[in-house]
């Protein structure tokens, strides 16, 4: 094997490392998780992530260079989205890996009320059978980008003022962005204090969609899944 062939065959490690470097920041991972909920402007991402616009823009540019996100100018703003659904899957796989090999994740899971697998499956079955009142406590733009069928959009910031919209004779299940999002837990605390029977679902829309659960957009249409970009293949002989 020639030196050139050896170098070319090893170059893929460098390309994989570019992805690893782009993901090697808690801020970038947070921004990526927010983009799993739907397209957002830089300004909206900055607010949701608790970062400055300048810092958020810098991190987004790094992920854009790596091919993880796409930015498009809309008027005075730049809106970002995931480059492909596979990026969302990669984030979930990285989170699963952290849960498997990082003991600290277990403590964080207990603090945030991550459910046991059987408890989660039972709750999802009850939701699908329509036995509970389902409340999406994410901001309204995230709800419109994709939500569970039958869910009511009541952002956490509006929940206290809108509790009279919820029937008291049924259990209320709140959900937000995923296992480590605290919005649903905060919603359950507010609801319980007001006398509701309430629980939280610790899966977000991207996680449920990956499991094959239906997701709808704000107008009730099926939520679009962005196809992966076709990969260019260089011609080569088999083997």
Q: What pLDDT is attached to residue 237?
A: 34
Catalytic positions are: 176
Q: What pLDDT is attached to residue 234?
A: 38
Work out the average pLDDT over 104-116. Answer: 90
Work out the average pLDDT over 129-147. Answer: 95
Q: What pLDDT is attached to residue 5?
A: 61
Work out the average pLDDT over 151-170. Answer: 95
Length of the chain: 239
Contacts of 189 (CB under 8 A, 6+ apart): none
CA angle 100, 25, 18 (to 5 degrees): 90
Q: In the chain, where are the structural domains located?
A: 3-86, 106-210
Whole-angstrom distance, CA of residue 58 vs CA of residue 210: 29
Single pTM value for the model: 0.83
Topology, domain 3-86: Arc Repressor Mutant, subunit A (1.10.10)
pLDDT band with cut points at 50, 70 and 90 for residue 79: very high
Work out the average pLDDT over 5-22. Answer: 84
pLDDT band with cut points at 50, 70 and 90 for residue 231: very low
Is the pLDDT score of 179 beyond 80? yes
Q: Residue 41: how many CA atoms within 13 Å on its side-chain side?
A: 11
pLDDT band with cut points at 50, 70 and 90 for residue 112: confident
Three-class SS state of 34: helix
pLDDT in tens, 39-51: 999 999 999 999 9
pLDDT band with cut points at 50, 70 and 90 for residue 218: confident
Q: For residues 79 and 72, is the Cβ–Cβ distance under 8 A?
A: yes
- Helices 85-101 + 26-35 axis angle, to 10: 130
Q: What pLDDT is attached to residue 3?
A: 55
Cross-strand bridge partners of residue 201: 175
Domain with residues 106-210, CATH architecture: 3-Layer(aba) Sandwich (3.40)
Q: For residues 49 and 30, is the Cβ–Cβ distance under 8 A?
A: yes
């Amino acid at each position: 094997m020639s030196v050139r062939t050896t170098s070319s065959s090893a170059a893929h490690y460098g390309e994989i490392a570019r992805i690893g470097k782009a993901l090697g920041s808690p801020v970038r991972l947070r921004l990526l998780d927010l983009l799993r909920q739907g397209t957002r402007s830089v300004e909206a991402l900055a607010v949701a992530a608790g970062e400055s616009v300048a810092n958020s823009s810098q991190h987004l540019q790094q992920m854009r260079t790596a091919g993880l996100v796409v930015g498009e100018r809309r008027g005075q703003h730049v809106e970002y989205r995931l480059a492909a659904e596979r990026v969302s899957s990669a984030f979930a796989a990285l989170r699963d890996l952290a849960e498997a090999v990082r003991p600290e994740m277990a403590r964080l899971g207990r603090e945030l009320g991550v459910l046991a697998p059987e408890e989660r499956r039972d709750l999802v079955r009850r939701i699908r059978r329509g036995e509970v009142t389902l409340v999406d406590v994410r901001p309204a733009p995230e709800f419109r980008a994709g939500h569970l069928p039958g869910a009511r959009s009541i952002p956490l910031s509006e929940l206290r003022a809108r509790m009279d919209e919820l029937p008291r004779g049924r259990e209320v299940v709140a959900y937000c962005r995923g296992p480590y999002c605290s919005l649903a837990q905060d919603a359950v605390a507010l609801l319980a204090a007001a006398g509701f029977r309430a629980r939280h679902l610790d899966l977000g829309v991207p996680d449920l969609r990956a499991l094959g659960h239906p997701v709808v957009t704000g107008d009730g249409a099926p939520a679009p899944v962005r196809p992966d970009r076709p990969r260019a293949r260089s011609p080569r002989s088999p083997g």
